[in-house]
Amino acid sequence: MSAFWIIVTGALVASACGLVGCFLVLRKMAMIGDAISHAVLPGIVIAFLISGSRDSLIMLFGAAIIGLITVFLIQLFTQSGVQSDASIGVVFTALFAVGILLVSLFTRDIDLDLDCVLYGEIAYVPWNTIDFMGIGIGPKAIWGVGLSLLLSVIVISLFYKQFKICSFDPAMAAAVGIPVALFHYLLMGLVSITTVASFESVGAILVVGMLVVPPATAYLLTEKLSRMIFYTIIIGCVSSIIGYYFASILDASIAGCMICVAGAIFILALLFSPSHGVIMRKLKQKQLIHEAV
Amino acid sequence: MLDELKIFLDPNTQWILFGSMLLGLCSGVIGSFAYLRKQSLMGDALSHAALPGVCIAFMLTGSKSVFFFLIGASIAGIIATFGIGFITRHTRIKQDSALAIVLTVFFGLGIVLLTEIQHSGTGNQSGLDKFLFGQAAALVLSDVLIMAVASIVLISVCILFFKEFKITSFDPGFASGMGFPVAFLEQMIMLLIVMAVVIGIQAVGVVLMSSLLVTPAVSARYWTEKLSVMVFLSGIFGALSGMAGTYISASGNNLPTGPIIVLAATVFFILSIIFAPRRGLLSKLLIHLLAKRSVKTSKVKIKGKERTV
């Protein structure tokens, strides 16, 4: 049963992250997930210091607030003339440093381990269950990630057209009267919520990986956004299933194996994608030359 | 005042101070080029990518020697830069996604290797942890010597190839038209970044290392429009942050050095964003106000009548 829950959690994380990740890859903001998952550390620590408990709902709340502040600060610096990647770098490292400082200042005698808060372990998912009205309703992670996935699905399917235009051609979106800034913050809010809801239970590295690697793989396979999202989710789910079994064979980190499988699928697509693969293009070139000669 | 300066007389602190200043200096210098080439997050990707290299070095040698770790990290970093370059050159995937892909896949591989090491029973991986999360306070003479050699190499390469790096960073098309080996120069800049990252990881850790490559460079960009001045200023900002960080963390409280160095760099950044001439917030505000006043006081002739706008 625990294997089932772990795979389901992995697939849910892959779908939730992949859905918003597609838009991040298209908008050239792939590193933002990495930034958010590091920058929320001070939020978690402050929430812990104020509430005094390790109740994850409060920590999640603190993390979500700092996540939004991070996104806002990045946007602020970008608008004042700093390159977007540099402003991501400045903001998240500064916030992470504040977080580490807070941990080392205030939590020396308290049980707040950096590893266990920031880098959740997907292997523990099945044992961290919640009850609803006295009945066990499955692991907490499933509910957290599932709800954030549901939210993203609702928001993105409501405003699919707007998100699409904003990602491909912001200038045209502004010209036809779509509030580009609003949709930017909406997307960033979704990324922030998804990241925070996921990493607490499965670890930052799996979240960042699933935000980028499957969407980039799908980007090499298709020219249509709807198909790209569909492929992304399939690739994400396949990597979490295969990754889990690799991990149990090798007796290694599950999250690490899932990412490695996603990476392997990416390399396959990079080389053999029918439209954009490196080797396939070379073959086509050769064929063309052959025909011409 | 004298009392407070006495901390610097402690030979141990002197080494840490020297090491973190060197680190700030060279990451500031090479960070400027990374910033101009829109590769500010390269440091982040490469410092994460070092993990599998360090793990493999440990698995092969079985020793926790810093020297082997540095070699492993450098090789992994070089492979990562080739990977990033390959993806961006040969597909339509943009640089930011390429960075994120390499970062996560390498780090994921590193975690898998790390758990293998843990389970194989050849010893605990505490040494690896320390290497990756950084401990400036644990720097010893030999580490600082390695850092010194690496920074001298890095800075002299930057001075020697300044013109080439400048032209490649601003206009790669023009550079290749002039007959410069652009791909080689780009790879060389990446190699220098790998070098800075590798010597920095053990002092300030994976995440905070990327800050030293970005923050001083962005701060310096605010003060000048000339690359040579920017590189110089960025190096100074980095070195000063290193000094301030060491000073504050050594003067008591047992604060960790790495985060303080980063926060010192961030303070420089905030000061720059507010007070820099022309680009800073204050001077922008001032220019705006002056322009408003000059418009208000100027009289405009409209249809023959004189009016105050």
Nearest to B98 by CA among B85, B110, B107: B85
Looking at chain B from residue 36 to 55, which residues have their Cβ under 8 Å from any Cβ of chain A?
38-41, 43-44
Q: Check whether residue B197 and residue B303 sit in a common domain.
A: no
ipTM over 0.90: no
List the 50-79 stretch of A: residues with Cβ below 8 A of B: 77
Task: Tell whether A282 is within 8 A of chain B (Cβ).
Answer: no
Residue range A3-18: mean pLDDT, rounded: 89
Region A144-158: what's the mean pLDDT?
Answer: 91
CA-based nearest residue to B26, from B147, B162, B172, B143:
B147
Contact B115 A85 (CB under 8 A): no
Nearest CA-CA distance, residue B259 and chain A, Å: 4
Determine the pLDDT at residue A112.
46
B185 and B304 in a single domain? The answer is: no
B183 and B298 inside one domain: no
- Name the DSSP class of B161: T
Is the pLDDT at B230 greater than 90? The verdict is: yes
Distance, CA of B277 to CA of A284 (rounded, Å): 55
Closest-CA residue of A relative to B209 is: A93
Identify whether residues B182 and B304 lie together within a single domain: no
Same domain as B242, residue B302: no
Pairing of strands B305-308, B299-302: antiparallel
CATH number where B199 lies: 1.10.3470.10
Mean pLDDT, residues B181-210: 86
Q: Do B218 and B105 share a structural domain?
A: yes
pLDDT, position B144 = 84
Q: Which two tokens stand for residue A44?
A: 């978690």
pLDDT of residue B117: 81
A59 burial type by CB count under 10 A (0-12 exposed, 13-18 middle, 19+ buried): buried
Higher pLDDT, B254 or B46: B46
The shortest CB-CB distance from B100 to any of A87, A104, A212 is to A212
Of B39, B93, B119, the CB nearest to A219: B93
User: What are the tens digits of pLDDT across the range B126-141?
Assistant: 566 666 666 666 677 7
DSSP chain A: -HHHHHHHHHHHHHHHHHHHHHHHHHTT-TTHHHHHHHHTHHHHHHHHHHH-S--HHHHHHHHHHHHHHHHHHHHHHHHTT--HHHHHHHHHHHHHHHHHHHHHHH-SSS---HHHHHS--GGGGGG-EEEETTEEEEEHHHHHHHHHHHHHHHHHHHTHHHHHHHHH-HHHHHHTT--HHHHHHHHHHHHHHHHHHHHHHH-HHHHHHHHHHHHHHHHTT-S-HHHHHHHHHHHHHHHHHHHHHHHHHHT--HHHHHHHHHHHHHHHHHHH-TTT-HHHHHHHHHHHHHHH-
pLDDT digits 0-9 by tens, B1-42: 455 566 666 777 788 888 889 989 999 999 999 999 888 888
**B281: containing domain:** 277-309
Q: What is the pLDDT of residue A116?
A: 47
How far is it, in rounded angstroms, from Cα A8 to Cα A16? 12
Structure confidence by residue, pLDDT tens digits, A49-104:
887 766 667 777 788 888 889 988 998 888 888 888 899 999 999 998 898 888 77
CB within 8 Å: A255 and B108: yes
* d(C-alpha B213, C-alpha A65), whole Å: 27
B306 forms bridges with which residues in the sheet? B301
**pTM for the whole thing?**
0.87
**A 122-161 residues inside an 8 A Cβ radius of B:** none
Chain A contact set for B263 (CB, 8 A):
94, 97-98, 101
Residue B284 and residue B268 share a domain:
no
**Counted domains in chain B:** 2
What is the predicted pLDDT for the residue at B162?
92
Contact status of A89 with chain B (Cβ, < 8 Å): yes
Which class would CATH give A2-292? mainly alpha
- The pLDDT tens digits of the residues spanning A21-40 come to 999 999 888 888 888 888 88
pLDDT of residue B300: 61
* Shortest CA gap B121–chain A (Å): 13
Residues with Cβ within 8 Å of B146's Cβ and at least 6 positions away in sequence, in order, are: B66, B67, B70, B199
CB contact under 8 A, A259 and B107: yes
| Identity of residue A277 | G
State whether B299 and B272 are in the same domain: no
Nearest Cα residue to B87 out of A231, A267, A25, A207: A267
Nearest CB among B100, B112, B263 relative to A94 is that of B263
What is the SS3 assignment for B183? helix
Residue ranges covered by each domain of chain A: 2-292
Same domain for B272 and B282: no
Cα→Cα distances A137→A15, A101, A109, B245, Å:
21, 38, 34, 49
Q: Which one, of B51, B66, B47, lies nearest residue B200 by Cα?
A: B47
Going by their DSSP bridges, the two strands A135-139 and A129-132 should be labelled as: antiparallel
Nearest to B104 among A83, A247, A259 (CB): A259
Residue given tokens 């160095």 in the structure block? B261
Report the distance separating Cα A279 and Cα B71, nearest Å.
Answer: 32
Per-residue pLDDT band at B299 (split at 50, 70, 90):
low
Q: How many CB atoms are located within 10 Å of the residue B91 CB? A: 20
Q: Looking at the partner chain, which of A25, A77, A257 has a beta carbon nearest the beta carbon of B112?
A: A257
Helix-helix angle A2-26:A140-158, to 10 degrees? 30
B170 and B60 belong to one structural domain? yes
B9 and B148 share one domain = yes
Phi, psi (rounded to 5 degrees) for A27: -90, 10
Tell me how far apart the alpha carbons of residues A266 and A219 are, in angstroms, rounded to a whole number.
Answer: 10
Whether residue B177 sits in one domain with residue B77: yes
